[in-house]
Amino acid sequence: MPHIRVRGLPFEDLESIGDILVENLAEITDTPNSHFTLEFQLTSYLVVGGASPAYPFFEVLWFDRGDEVKAKVARAIENLTRPLVESGQDITVLFRDLQGKDYYENGEHF
């Protein structure tokens, strides 16, 4: 844990930054890189009138590490992703803070 769901970014682009992204986030959060997972989600965006271009959306599920760490993680994601997208395109990072009481691994509570 942390688990990062990524949509709106081509798989090849995520794969190209995946290793360095995990290394950077591991350093920022003082968490072993083996604890991170990246999940690629193939997503279609729709608006009134039909399909809409996708934009990178990173959903970070983790145990809260505070606002300062969140800001550093968001900037690291932005810095690695920005060269892969069109100028002016949004890059969204959403944090979902999990509660330890809700976390089970292999049927065991931690």
Structure confidence by residue, pLDDT tens digits, 39-71: 999 988 888 888 888 899 999 999 999 999 999
Residue 110 lies in a domain: no
* In contact, 59 and 38? CB cutoff 8 Å: no
For residue 39, give the CATH number of its domain.
3.30.429.10
The residue segments making up the domain with residue 50 are 3-102
* In contact, 68 and 74? CB cutoff 8 Å: no
Residue 55 lies in a domain: yes
Given a cut of 90, is residue 100 above it in pLDDT? no
Residue 29 lies in a domain: yes
Say how far apart CA 47 and CA 50 lie, in whole Å.
5
pLDDT at position 46: 85
In order, the DSSP letters of 24-48 are HHHHHHT--GGG-EEEEE---EEET
Say how far apart CA 38 and CA 74 lie, in whole Å.
15
Q: Say what the pTM is.
A: 0.90
Residue 107 lies in a domain: no
- How does residue 31 score in pLDDT terms, banded at 50, 70 and 90? very high
Say how far apart CA 43 and CA 45 lie, in whole Å.
7
Number of domains in the chain: 1
pLDDT at position 48: 86
